[in-house]
């Protein structure tokens, strides 16, 4: 009998022997953090994550990277201004939506910090000895690129929320941080961009990566926001106005945004390449299905208000009493950019050649800026891709003009700069008079920015920094009665959930939490 | 055309069905007779060998003197025997007078009688169910009378009254403490949600562990093969399953064979399924057009109203195919005829017993395009090798084949939604008979957000094939009469293939003759295929000790178990297909291909033990303990220990307590102990790099980014649930009335959840797992049963009620959902988890002046919803939100009424849950949401002429800023309490034993109905839904009328 018990005990014990092996299980389909960063390819794939964050973070939450830039970013932002309107809930300038519990505002806020944390982790690794296999030059270039993404994200935060939390190192689970003053945030942004100016290669834009010119252009945008006109002019003088400059005005306005000549266009300083993302997990969000969203679904449409901003071809403002006004086709005799940005209603013929435009948008203001003629008549389904231009030379020139004008006394230079844009081949708008006052020139620059940069995502920032948002919304309400704006809304509300979770944060003044 | 096709399909379906019934019945008869003839032959040869003794005759009666039919009478230790006839008589040839007869009958205590020489008059005693019944517990069985833990049991026979092919839904309402919600009526995907004693954790799964024949598994056997189901609810009974028992354990045993003659049991059921409720949409085109104009006017949308002339055309041209009044719902829903066949062969010699079950289900859906087929087979065989060693083998093999259209099954991209979003002004195919798909009728007014659903039905398809097999050999060694050793292994292999295909087609507008090209049937185009498989070997061994020393009876068990599981999946896809006819990978163009693959594994090592002590059946004590080590946690925090203790006292066994005449037995129970929960993640403590984001450096190829997956915490471990249970079992009125009551207090601490991290960390969505947070569920369960007899009618009443209160006791910062996101709720300490937190609906603005004065920022108009100002401050802000209860049901209850008289038996089962609310939105509720057709009640919408304080003005939910978006309110919160006749089963049993000379024993024909009626205030589709609420439109539950046949050989 006894041997049986022994056998039994042996059998029971045998389970335990293989125990340690049995219980050590590691993920089978991913690399652990400890074993990553073995070669430059891996570094580049970590960098890819950062570039993927060069977006706006709308339309589906923080995980949708910038591949959706045109759809959810630049056009959407302009549709929160007097340029356009949108059919979905992200429009924060619609009455009642700019509240601390707004999910889109929260997503936008989160998206920026998610990108920043990724940048911080990356920079910290690049500064460690884990990547000793990199040459010093390429290591610095990687850091500069990460810092650019970080600066981009912080700028998105600070121009909307003002004082925001400033995190520049890797996060730990028990991280505690309150808001820093906007001045400190802006200083950190400038410092990141200065690193880029020093360490990014000076070439034209290619390979999808940031170049020296991009760091300068971004720095100008930030400096202009700070009303630091000297720095804007200084950037111009050090780079864009020198032989080092790699960029110029495109001889065809439409080429900048679409078509075969978009890639390698000399005007583009940075664009988010729209490859065919349909095979990725991004799904349809990524296909830059501009046609679908701008026209067919009526998600994004322009405003009459914006259409009317376009002058007649002789430079006179739009008015129905102007002799150049053509009652049968209001797009006739206008600034040529009008027909390049909006679809002439006359083309939306009764026979329905653009028949899938729903009645809500039909014969109003279809945004054509990102449509090719071959996209028409509008069809459902996949359309060829086009890149989302985030920084371009025309913007830089107008920023330079604005800074010059604000400094005063340089009318000729201001007018010359503006004329680089207005006089572009194919646009050929007459030059402004050099005898305009500073205020008149200011108005002219604002006008030029609006018509030149329509639906490129800069209008919201411009209206905020000029403090013109309220007036613009009053006008916009004529087209879209849901618009409203109060002065406290010059700052977006820190999301209610952020306040709930972080007791160090201050609520944004004016809002009901 | 399509309609005709459907009808003809139905017809041919019915024909095939009838043939199948006929054929299968015939063939089963033949098989059965053959088998029986053989058995008789064997018996005859056995008789030849023995050829001595005499014929024993006798009759078997119940205590009440009623003849018992079908009682098994067997010569002990042999395979000779017989069963009683309609008069309770039996006779067995060639029995020697000193042999023993074993008389057994379900529901009665088995008796042994010496054969003797005279005719026998045997009276069987009814099993005093609650006292002598043996129930399955973790790693063993136990007499119910000795139980000290809180468990619920039900027999397979009870469940088999329920004809649904899904075993889990058959459990609904049967087992107090087990809450079951069936979310959908989709065949093969009923989304049955099971929960034991409340919502225990917000970090981990709340699904109970399911153990079939001792093996933890994910699949339940088919209903007709279930012998019994036990739910372990408290720590005492469940602690033996340690780290996975926090959400309760469901133990299922499958049917075993009995020694004696072979039993063949064939079941056939044919069921007519229809949906319990179909949305009542406007089908009159002119009415629809008028309402649409009304909605546009209210919403301030101009330029797309139907002209009066167009409306009149529809009004005045009824019957003209150019001006249809299409009832799209009638094209979507059908009466589906499903059938189930089940065959069980069981029996055995005195050494070997067997049971083979085969089950086939053919279940088309009540929505067109849906179907489900399933084969299930379970084979159990057991043999006594010698006096001491018993060996057995259980094999389960299942195959499922589920088909649905390529669209999603629920929500905004479902087929249902597509059908709802088609105007009655056009029909699915062009009126010219060309078979072309209609786009719409009025390009200026109607734009289809949703493609013509017929295109989806014709050109897209999803199939899900699953194959599951489990082999479970075991060995039981009786070492001595007080010590036994069990070793039990199992190997499970499962494989599934998921295919999804979508194709494009052109649609046409028959008024303008314009074509829309490439309208896609689904959101994803082309074909994607995913193969997934998993293996899980498991081994456990136990040593059981049982000995009585005088008045002391001691039982003990120790054991160890080892489990491993590995899952792999491989996916591939292509997008470019030129036809919908070929739906395989290679048929697609190779320029747009994708693939994916992954694998994961985990393991668990455990030791466990149990001691029970019983003094004179008076004092009962039990101690359970399990130690688990899981690969999911780091080395230092890998082991978890789960002890429990329970006590029982039967006061009437005490001499100092006087007997009460009407109380037969009372047992008081108390238990306390801890259980664990592993969480959902397989690798929660490991920091890994994973793909994150995409970017293209060259504008054509896509690079995937790599980033840290999230922050981690290496010290995490199990979450622990401590359960205190107090209960009693009473038997009253001469063993006719049984009552069981349990109070529980269940506290879960160290909930394995994601740490709350501030947004500014950048890791708020990928924060580490930590053990933090606590939740409490308290409640009670009561079940009562009375079994009685009036004249010749036996009847039974079984009633149970269960309730729980949920409270988050530790959470951290409250979390509130944002406007426009999911269900407006708050997670806050002291409140039920995810309580409704929303604005308070306060009627409807009757005048524009009222609306303007409201301070509502959505700029309401007269006819819109008014929100109550709760905080007294001007305007409506988030401070006006209120907490509304109703997140969890207040109680749920089940009532079974059964009766039988001679061959007639009737069982009715009512089930209800009360006090739960759901937040509804979407089509069917919001008018013109995704261009959906409003329900008829909107014809009575608020207008200046037709004022109402409950029904707002009609609007276009797609374009109008209704209060719903800005102020999600109680207007959308609906009470979905319901009471329904879940099941009704009426059968007649014909005793055929005498007629067919024991070849055919009995035939039962029955009618069964499911969800025959429902009492509810809920106006949407089915009030019963998994999770609570959300989308108004979900695949509805089925109302089933079925006819069945049960033949026993």
Using a CB-CB cut-off of 8 Å, the residues of chain A touching B605 are 15-16, 19, 22-23
Q: Is the pLDDT of residue B616 over 90?
A: no
Query: Concatenated DSSP letters for A25-45?
Result: ---SSSEEGGG---SHHHHHH
Q: Which residue has the higher pLDDT, A290 or B151?
A: B151
Most confident of A134-143, B521-530, B571-580: A134-143
CB contact under 8 A, A512 and B813: no
CB contact under 8 A, A498 and B605: no
Tokens of B659: 């007997």
What is the chain A residue with the closest CA to B526?
Answer: A279
Cα(first)–Cα(last) distance of chain B, in Å? 47
How many angstroms separate the CA of residue A84 from the nearest CA in chain B?
16
Interhelix angle A182-199/A136-161, nearest 10 degrees: 150
Tokens of A78: 């302009």
Tokens of A233: 């002019």
Alpha carbon B402 to its chain's center: 17
Using a CB-CB cut-off of 8 Å, the residues of chain A touching B500 are none
Query: Concatenated DSSP letters for B867-898?
Result: E---S-SSS--GGG-EEE--SS-SEEEEEEEE
Q: Which residues of B186-216 are buried (b: 16+ CB within 10 A; e: fewer)?
A: bbbbbbbbbbbbbbbbbbbebebbbbbbbbb
Q: Which residue has the higher pLDDT, A289 or B609?
A: B609
How many angstroms separate the CA of residue B655 from the nearest CA in chain A?
43
Per-residue model confidence (pLDDT) at position B812: 85
What helix, strand, coil percent values describe chain A, rounded to 5? 50, 5, 45
| A393 φ, ψ (degrees, to nearest 5) | -65, -35
Per-residue model confidence (pLDDT) at position B820: 56
- Which of A2-16, A144-158, B408-422 bottoms out in mean pLDDT, i.e. has the lowest? A2-16
Q: Is the pLDDT of residue A358 over 60?
A: no
Identify the CA nearest to B393 among candidates B469, B465, B323, B447. B469
Q: Is residue B87 within 8 Å of B121, Cβ to Cβ?
A: no
Q: Does A432 touch chain B (CB under 8 A)?
A: no
Per-residue model confidence (pLDDT) at position A283: 40
Q: Which residue has the higher pLDDT, B125 or B389?
A: B389
Identify the CA nearest to A112 among candidates B760, B710, B696. B760
How many angstroms separate the CA of residue A83 from the nearest CA in chain B?
19
Give the residue-averaged pLDDT of B190-197. Answer: 86
Q: Is the pLDDT of residue B85 over 50?
A: yes
Q: Is residue A402 within 8 Å of A221, Cβ to Cβ?
A: no
Alpha carbon B1005 to its chain's center: 26
Q: Is residue B69 within 8 Å of B132, Cβ to Cβ?
A: no
What is the chain A residue with the closest CA to B516?
Answer: A379
CB contact under 8 A, B762 and A29: no
How far is it, in rounded angstroms, from Cα B255 to Cα B471? 16
Tokens of B684: 């929660």
Q: Does A169 touch chain B (CB under 8 A)?
A: no
Q: Does A136 touch chain B (CB under 8 A)?
A: no
Q: How far are the Cα atoms of A60, A96, B216, B609, B693 from residue B241, in angstroms, in the given order?
A: 41, 53, 10, 10, 41
pLDDT band at B690 (very low <50, low <70, confident <90, very high): confident
Q: How far are the Cα atoms of A451, B414, B416, B458, B516 from residue B504, in angstroms, in the given order?
A: 39, 17, 19, 10, 11
Per-residue model confidence (pLDDT) at position B172: 87
pLDDT band at B15 (very low <50, low <70, confident <90, very high): very low
Give the residue-averaged pLDDT of B799-817. Answer: 90
Q: Is residue B323 within 8 Å of B315, Cβ to Cβ?
A: no
CB contact under 8 A, A173 and B879: no
Q: Is residue B668 within 8 Å of B652, Cβ to Cβ?
A: no
Q: Which residues of A354-391 are buried (b: 16+ CB within 10 A; e: fewer)?
A: bbbbbbbbbebbbbbbbbbeebbebbbbbbbbbbbbbb
Identify the CA nearest to B149 among candidates B234, B231, B63. B234
Unique residue bearing structure tokens 């099971």: B194
Q: Does A53 touch chain B (CB under 8 A)?
A: yes
pLDDT band at B798 (very low <50, low <70, confident <90, very high): very high
- Which of A92-96, A191-195, B949-953 bottoms out in mean pLDDT, i.e. has the lowest? A92-96
How many angstroms separate the CA of residue A33 from the nearest CA in chain B?
5
Q: Is residue B818 within 8 Å of B843, Cβ to Cβ?
A: no
Percent of chain B with pLDDT over 90: 41
Give the residue-averaged pLDDT of B526-533. Answer: 93
Unique residue bearing structure tokens 């468990």: B151
Query: Concatenated DSSP letters for B578-621?
Result: S-SS--SGGGS-TTSEEEEEEEEEEEEEEEEEEEEEEETTTEEE
Q: Is residue B611 within 8 Å of B620, Cβ to Cβ?
A: no
Nearest to A31 among B631, B688, B760 (CB): B688
How many angstroms separate the CA of residue A143 from the nearest CA in chain B?
15
Per-residue model confidence (pLDDT) at position B1048: 86
Tokens of B606: 């455990």
Nearest to B763 among A31, A117, A512 (CB): A117
Interhelix angle A136-161/A40-51, nearest 10 degrees: 20
Q: Is residue B235 within 8 Å of B673, Cβ to Cβ?
A: yes
How many angstroms separate the CA of residue A428 from the nearest CA in chain B?
31
How many angstroms separate the CA of residue B524 from the nearest CA in chain A?
8
Nearest to B697 among A100, A209, A498 (CB): A209
Q: Please list, in sequence order, all residues whose beta carbon lies within 8 angstroms of the beta carbon of residue B518, skipping any fewer than 6 positions away.
A: A379, A380, A381, B504, B505, B506
3-state secondary structure of B309: helix
What is the chain B residue with the closest CA to A54?
Answer: B695
How far is it, in rounded angstroms, from Cα B238 to Cα B231? 9
Cβ neighbourhood burial of B876 (10 Å; 0-12, 13-18, 19+):
buried
Per-residue model confidence (pLDDT) at position B446: 64
How many angstroms separate the CA of residue A242 from the nearest CA in chain B?
28
Using a CB-CB cut-off of 8 Å, the residues of chain A touching B480 are 1
pLDDT band at B452 (very low <50, low <70, confident <90, very high): confident
CB contact under 8 A, A52 and B694: yes
Q: Does A26 touch chain B (CB under 8 A)?
A: yes
Give the residue-averaged pLDDT of A371-383. Answer: 61
Q: Please list, in sequence order, all residues whose beta carbon lies within 8 angstroms of the beta carbon of residue A355, skipping any fewer than 6 positions away.
A: A377, A378, B443, B512, B514
Three-point CA angle B335, B336, B340, nearest 5°: 145
Per-residue model confidence (pLDDT) at position B517: 66
Which tens digit of pLDDT belongs to each residue from B970-1009? 998 989 899 999 999 999 988 777 777 767 888 999 999 9
3-state secondary structure of B404: strand
Nearest to A48 among B444, B704, B765 (CB): B704
CB contact under 8 A, A208 and B443: no
Neighbouring C-alpha atoms within 13 Å toward the C-beta of A417: 27
Q: Is residue B745 within 8 Å of B776, Cβ to Cβ?
A: yes
Q: Is the pLDDT of residue B45 over 90?
A: no
pLDDT band at B568 (very low <50, low <70, confident <90, very high): very high
Identify the CA nearest to A90 among candidates A510, A492, A464, A498. A492
Using a CB-CB cut-off of 8 Å, the residues of chain B touching A297 are 449
Using a CB-CB cut-off of 8 Å, the residues of chain B touching A352 are 443, 512, 514
How far is it, in rounded angstroms, from Cα B98 to Cα B77? 13
Strands (DSSP E) contained in B188-295 are 192-196, 209-212, 215-216, 226-232, 249-254, 260-275
Nearest to B686 among A32, A117, A362 (CB): A32
Question: Across all residues in chain A, what is the average pLDDT?
Answer: 83
> Which of A16, A29, A93, A357 should we substitute to test contact with B (largest number of B Cβ atoms within 10 Å)?
A29
CB contact under 8 A, B516 and A495: no
Using a CB-CB cut-off of 8 Å, the residues of chain A touching B961 are 94, 96, 482
Give the residue-averaged pLDDT of B67-75. Answer: 79
What helix, strand, coil percent values describe chain B, rounded to 5? 15, 45, 40
Unique residue bearing structure tokens 């009440």: B64
Unique residue bearing structure tokens 């119940």: B62
Per-residue model confidence (pLDDT) at position A348: 64
Tokens of B141: 């069985």
Which tens digit of pLDDT belongs to each residue from A425-460? 999 999 999 999 999 999 999 999 999 999 888 999
Nearest to A22 among B447, B605, B760 (CB): B605
Q: Please list, in sequence order, all residues whose beta carbon lies within 8 angstroms of the beta carbon of residue A161, skipping any fewer than 6 positions away.
A: A109, A491, A492, A494, A508
| Kind plus residue range of the DSSP H or E element containing A110 | helix A103-126
How far is it, in rounded angstroms, from Cα B461 to Cα B463? 7
Per-residue model confidence (pLDDT) at position A280: 54
Unique residue bearing structure tokens 């988890």: B833
Which tens digit of pLDDT belongs to each residue from B237-251? 888 998 888 889 999
How many angstroms separate the CA of residue A423 from the nearest CA in chain B?
30
How many angstroms separate the CA of residue A357 from the nearest CA in chain B?
9
Per-residue model confidence (pLDDT) at position B765: 82
Identify the CA nearest to B39 among candidates B992, B1001, B991, B989. B1001
Q: Is the pLDDT of residue A254 over 50?
A: yes
Q: Please list, in sequence order, all residues whose beta carbon lies within 8 angstroms of the beta carbon of residue B636, skipping any fewer than 6 positions away.
A: B715
Q: Which residue has the higher pLDDT, A51 or B660?
A: A51
Q: Is the pLDDT of residue B1043 over 60?
A: yes
Nearest to A280 among B520, B688, B694 (CB): B694
CB contact under 8 A, B820 and A99: no
Q: Longest Cα pair distance anywhere in chain B, in angstroms?
A: 106
Per-residue model confidence (pLDDT) at position B55: 83
Q: Which of the 8 DSSP states describes residue B474?
A: E
CB contact under 8 A, B699 and A387: yes
pLDDT band at A88 (very low <50, low <70, confident <90, very high): low
Q: Does A407 touch chain B (CB under 8 A)?
A: no
CB contact under 8 A, B693 and A48: yes
Q: Does A65 touch chain B (CB under 8 A)?
A: yes
Query: Concatenated DSSP letters for A397-448?
Result: HHHHHHHHHHH-S-HHHHHHHHHHHHTSTTT-PPPPPTT--HHHHHHHHHHH
Tokens of B440: 């719409």
Q: Is the pLDDT of residue A311 over 50?
A: yes
Tokens of A492: 């977006």
């Amino acid at each position: 009998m006894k041997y049986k018990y022994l056998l039994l005990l042996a059998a029971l014990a045998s389970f335990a022997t293989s125990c340690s092996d049995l219980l050590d299980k590691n993920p089978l389909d991913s690399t652990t953090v400890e074993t990553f960063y073995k070669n430059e390819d891996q570094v580049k794939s970590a960098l890819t994550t950062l570039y993927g964050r060069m977006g706006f973070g709308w339309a589906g939450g923080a995980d949708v990277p910038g591949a959706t830039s045109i759809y959810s970013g630049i056009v959407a932002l302009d549709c929160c201004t007097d340029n356009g309107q949108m059919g979905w809930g992200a429009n924060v300038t619609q009455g009642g939506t700019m509240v601390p519990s707004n999910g889109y505002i929260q997503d936008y806020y989160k998206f920026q910090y998610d990108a920043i944390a990724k940048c911080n982790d990356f920079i910290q690794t690049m500064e460690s000895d884990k990547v000793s296999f990199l040459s010093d030059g390429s290591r610095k270039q990687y850091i500069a690129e990460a810092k650019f993404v970080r600066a981009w994200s912080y700028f998105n935060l600070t121009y909307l929320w003002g004082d925001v939390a400033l995190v520049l190192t890797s996060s730990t689970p028990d991280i505690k941080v309150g808001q820093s003053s906007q001045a400190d945030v802006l200083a950190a942004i400038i410092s990141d961009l200065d690193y880029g100016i020093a360490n990014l290669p000076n070439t034209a834009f290619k390979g999808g990566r940031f170049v020296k010119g991009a760091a300068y252009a971004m720095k100008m945008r930030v400096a202009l926001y700070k009303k630091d006109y000297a720095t804007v002019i200084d950037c111009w003088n050090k780079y864009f106005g020198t032989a080092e400059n790699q960029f110029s005005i495109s001889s065809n306005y439409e080429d900048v945004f679409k078509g075969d000549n978009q890639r390698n266009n000399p005007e583009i300083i940075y664009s988010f390449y729209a490859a065919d993302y349909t095979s990725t997990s991004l799904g349809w969000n990524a296909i830059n299905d501009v046609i679908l969203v701008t026209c067919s679904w009526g998600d994004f449409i322009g405003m009459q208000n914006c259409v009317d901003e376009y002058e007649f071809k002789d430079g006179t403002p739009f008015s129905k009493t102007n002799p150049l006004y053509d009652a049968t086709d209001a797009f006739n005799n206008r600034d040529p950019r009008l027909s390049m940005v909006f679809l002439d209603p006359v083309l939306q013929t009764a026979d329905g050649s653009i028949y899938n435009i729903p009645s809500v948008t039909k014969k109003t203001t279809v945004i054509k800026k990102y449509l090719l003629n071959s996209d028409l008549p509008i069809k459902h389904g996949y359309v060829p891709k086009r890149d989302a231009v985030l920084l371009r030379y025309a913007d830089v020139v107008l920023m330079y003009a604005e800074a010059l004008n604000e400094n005063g006394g340089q009318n000729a230079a201001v007018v010359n700069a503006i004329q680089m844009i207005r006089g572009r081949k194919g646009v050929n708008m007459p030059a402004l008079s050099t005898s305009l006052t500073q205020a008149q020139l200011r108005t002219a620059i604002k006008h030029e920015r609006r018509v030149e940069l329509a639906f490129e995502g800069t209008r919201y920032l411009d209206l905020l920094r000029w403090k013109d948002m309220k007036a613009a919304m009053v006008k916009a309400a004529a087209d879209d009665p849901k618009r409203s704006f109060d002065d406290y809304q010059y700052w977006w509300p820190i999301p209610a959930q952020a306040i709930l979770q972080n007791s160090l944060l201050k609520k944004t003044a004016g809002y009901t939490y | 055309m399509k309609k005709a096709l459907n009808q003809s399909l139905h017809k041919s379906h019915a024909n095939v069905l009838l043939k199948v019934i006929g054929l299968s019945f015939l063939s089963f008869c033949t098989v059965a007779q053959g088998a029986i003839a053989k058995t008789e032959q064997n018996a005859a040869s056995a008789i030849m060998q023995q050829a001595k003794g005499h014929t024993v005759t006798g009759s078997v009666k119940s205590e009440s003197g009623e003849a018992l039919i079908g009682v098994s009478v067997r010569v002990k230790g042999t395979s000779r025997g017989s069963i009683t006839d309609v008069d309770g008589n039996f006779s067995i040839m060639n029995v020697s007078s000193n042999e023993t007869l074993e008389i057994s009958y379900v529901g009665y205590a088995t008796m042994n009688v010496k054969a003797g020489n005279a005719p026998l008059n045997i009276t069987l005693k009814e099993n005093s169910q609650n006292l002598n019944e043996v129930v399955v517990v973790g790693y063993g069985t136990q007499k119910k009378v000795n139980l000290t833990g809180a468990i619920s049991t039900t027999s397979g026979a009870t469940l088999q009254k329920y004809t649904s092919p899904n075993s889990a839904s058959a459990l609904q309402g049967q087992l107090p403490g087990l809450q079951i919600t069936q979310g959908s009526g989709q065949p093969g995907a009923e989304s049955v949600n099971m929960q034991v004693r409340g919502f225990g954790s917000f970090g981990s799964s709340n699904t109970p562990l399911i153990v079939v024949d001792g093996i933890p598994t994910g699949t339940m056997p088919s209903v007709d093969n279930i012998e019994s189901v036990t739910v372990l609810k408290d720590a005492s009974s469940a602690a033996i399953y340690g780290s996975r028992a926090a959400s309760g354990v469901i133990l299922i045993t499958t049917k075993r064979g009995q020694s004696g003659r072979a039993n063949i049991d064939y079941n056939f059921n044919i069921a007519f399924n229809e949906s319990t409720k179909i949305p009542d949409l406007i089908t009159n085109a002119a009415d629809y057009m008028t309402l649409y104009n009304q909605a546009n006017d209210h919403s301030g949308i101009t330029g797309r109203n139907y002209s009066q002339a167009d409306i009149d055309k529809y009004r005045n041209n009824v019957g003209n195919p150019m001006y249809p009044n299409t009832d799209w719902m009638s094209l979507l829903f059908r009466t589906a005829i499903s059938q189930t066949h089940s065959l069980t062969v069981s029996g055995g010699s005195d050494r070997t017993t067997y049971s083979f079950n085969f089950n086939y289900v053919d279940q088309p859906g009540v929505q067109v395009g849906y179907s489900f087929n399933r084969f299930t087979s379970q084979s159990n065989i057991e043999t006594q090798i010698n006096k001491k060693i018993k060996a057995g083998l259980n094999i389960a093999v299942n195959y499922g084949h589920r088909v649905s259209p390529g669209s999603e099954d629920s929500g905004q991209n479902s087929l249902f939604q597509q059908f709802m979003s088609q105007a009655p002004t056009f029909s699915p195919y062009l009126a010219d008979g060309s078979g072309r798909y209609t786009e719409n009728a009025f390009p200026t007014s109607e734009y289809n957000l949703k493609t013509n659903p017929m295109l989806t039905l014709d050109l897209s398809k999803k199939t899900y094939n699953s194959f599951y097999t489990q082999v479970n050999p075991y060995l039981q060694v009786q070492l001595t009469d007080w010590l036994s050793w069990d070793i039990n292994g199992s190997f499970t292999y499962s494989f599934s293939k998921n295919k999804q295909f979508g194709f494009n087609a052109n649609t046409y507008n028959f008024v303008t003759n314009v074509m829309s090209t490439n309208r896609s049937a689904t959101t994803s185009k082309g074909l994607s295929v995913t193969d997934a498989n998993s293996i899980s070997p498991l081994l456990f061994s136990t040593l059981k000790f049982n000995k009585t020393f005088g008045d002391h009876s001691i039982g003990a068990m120790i054991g160890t178990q080892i489990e491993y599981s590995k899952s792999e999946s491989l996916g591939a896809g292509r997008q470019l297909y030129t036809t919908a006819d070929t739906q395989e990978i290679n048929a697609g163009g190779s320029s747009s291909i994708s693939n994916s693959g992954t694998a994961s594994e985990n393991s668990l090592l455990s030791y466990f033990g149990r001691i029970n002590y019983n003094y004179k059946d008076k004092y009962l004590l039990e101690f359970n303990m399990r130690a688990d080590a899981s690969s999911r946690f780091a080395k230092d925090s890998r082991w978890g220990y789960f002890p429990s203790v329970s006590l029982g006292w039967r006061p009437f066994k005490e001499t100092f307590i006087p007997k009460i005449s009407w109380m037969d037995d009372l047992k008081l129970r108390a238990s306390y102990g801890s259980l664990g929960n592993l969480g959902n993640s397989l690798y929660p403590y490991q920091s890994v790099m994973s793909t994150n984001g995409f970017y293209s450096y060259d504008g054509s190829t896509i690079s995937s980014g790599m980033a840290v997956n999230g922050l981690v915490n290496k010290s995490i471990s199990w979450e622990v649930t401590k359960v205190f249970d107090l209960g009693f079992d009473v038997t009253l009125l001469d063993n006719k009335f049984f009552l069981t009551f349990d109070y529980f207090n269940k506290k879960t601490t160290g909930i394995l959840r994601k740490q709350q991290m501030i947004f500014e960390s950048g890791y708020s969505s990928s924060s580490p797992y930590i053990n933090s947070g606590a939740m409490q569920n308290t409640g009670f369960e009561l079940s009562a049963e009375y079994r009685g007899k009036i004249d010749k009618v036996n009847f039974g009443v079984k009633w149970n009620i269960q309730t729980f209160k949920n409270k988050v006791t530790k959470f951290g910062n409250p979390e509130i959902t944002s406007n426009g996101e999911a269900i407006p709720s708050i997670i806050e300490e002291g409140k039920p988890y995810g309580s409704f937190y929303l604005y308070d609906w306060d009627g409807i603005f009757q005048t524009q002046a009222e609306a303007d004065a409201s301070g509502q920022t959505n700029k309401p108009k007269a006819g819109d919803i008014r929100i109550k100002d709760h905080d007294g401050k001007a305007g409506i802000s988030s401070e006006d939100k209120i907490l509304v209860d109703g997140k969890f049901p207040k109680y749920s209850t089940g009532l079974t009424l059964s009766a039988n008289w001679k061959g007639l038996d009737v069982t009715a089962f009512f089930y209800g849950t009360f006090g739960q609310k759901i937040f509804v939105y979407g089509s069917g509720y919001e008018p013109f949401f995704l261009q959906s057709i409003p329900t008829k009640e909107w014809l009575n919408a608020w207008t200046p002429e037709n004022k109402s304080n409950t029904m707002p003005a009609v609007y276009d939910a797609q374009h109008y800023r209704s209060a719903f978006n800005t102020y999600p309110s109680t207007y959308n919160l609906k009470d979905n309490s319901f009471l329904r006749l879940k099941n009704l089963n009426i059968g007649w049993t014909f005793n055929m034993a005498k007629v067919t000379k024991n070849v055919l024993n009995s035939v039962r024909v029955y009618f069964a109905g499911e969800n025959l009626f429902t009492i509810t205030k809920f106006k949407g589709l089915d009030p019963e839904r998994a999770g609570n609420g959300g989308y108004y439109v979900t695949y509805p539950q089925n109302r089933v009328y079925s006819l069945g046949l049960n033949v026993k050989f």
